[in-house]
Amino acid sequence: MLFRSDGATYAGTTGLPFAGGVWRPDRIVRRGTFHRMIGGRLISFAIEAHLVPLAGRAGFLVALTVRNRSERRIRLEIRPRFQPGCPDAVSLTSYHWDWPPPGNPVAPVGADEWRNERVRLRFFADTDGALELGHGAEAMRRFAVLLEQPGEATSAPPDLTALEREAEQDWQRRLDDATARLPVFASDIPDLEAYWRGALTSGLVCLWDHPGFAVRPFPATLGIEGAGLVCYLWDLGGYVPHVASMLLRDTMRPLLEALLALDLSDRKSTRLNSSHSSVSRMPSSA
């Protein structure tokens, strides 16, 4: 991310020291600060970035809020730099204890669009205009990238505000649905309630959802110990069976059926599509 103010350009990696952040199930929030003398005058502003995975489609959104802390009016340009990397479209059976390999590098095919043989990426910004901020004023800019199939019909540019709202509403719905079946805990012991909420959050981030999953939501070991998008028998049945039953409710039946179908002599987990051919083997080093 490049920031330009009063004729000087600064890269986000060097010009914006990290000033804290919050990790949430639905997004990552990071804060930065800019405080420099430029031409004998102080330029100071705070920035907060929200990295949000989209709901109902493949992609991410970044929402930036900038607040002017200078004693005077400033003009600020934000110039995003997008690095498309090596995306790929893979089947659900490609996700197990480890991760699928990356795809081939993409090539630009137009303004703000990149493509390889399996994925098309499109980058969007809600506006290209510069920010004019008085003392204490703040403004927001949104940027998004959508991952699509190369042959997919090109849709109109999305409403980035609506995309962020849909993602937040989707997570709120999932949180309300899950927590409605969990007990309420209260204690006068210092930090015990915070520990309980943190433990529940650790469980909620294990619940992955996608229209192609055989079990929705799918409780992935990824959120427990850092393994891949699989569900191990002992994680669900051994560590958290009671809370899992409350969180998953009707979803427990198809998940238990998939786990009961395992050949325990060499298979210990089920994958995202829960088919017999897609249960994962333990790594040879285990």
126 dihedral zone (left: phi>0; alpha: psi -120 to 50; beta)? alpha
92-102 tens-digit pLDDT: 878 777 778 89
pLDDT of residue 65: 94
Q: Strands 18-24 and 8-11: what pairing? A: unpaired
Closest of 2, 149, 159 to residue 88, by C-alpha: 149
Work out the average pLDDT over 40-62: 91
Q: Do residues 38 and 8 touch, judged by C-beta distance below 8 A?
A: yes
- pLDDT over 50 (residue 76): yes
Predicted local distance difference test score (pLDDT) of residue 8: 54
Lowest-pLDDT range of 81-85, 169-173, 222-226, 240-244: 222-226
Phi, psi for 248 (deg, rounded to 5) = -90, -30
pLDDT the model gives residue 129: 76
Report the share of the chain in percent with pLDDT over 90. 29
Q: Tokens 């493949």 correspond to what residue? A: 58
Give the pLDDT of residue 63: 95
The two three-digit tokens of residue 82, written as one number: 């997008």
Percentage of residues of the chain with pLDDT beyond 70: 88
Q: Which is nearest to 196 in space by CA: 179, 209, 177, 219?
A: 179
pLDDT at 28: 92
Q: Which residues contact 129 (CB under 8 A, 6 or more apart)?
A: none
Give the integer Cα–Cα distance in Å for 52 and 48.
Answer: 13
Q: What pLDDT is recorded for position 228?
A: 72
CB contact at 8 A, 228 and 98 = yes
> Exposed e or buried b for every residue in 171-197, given b needs 16+ CB within 10 A?
beebbeebeeeeeeeeeeeeeeeeebe
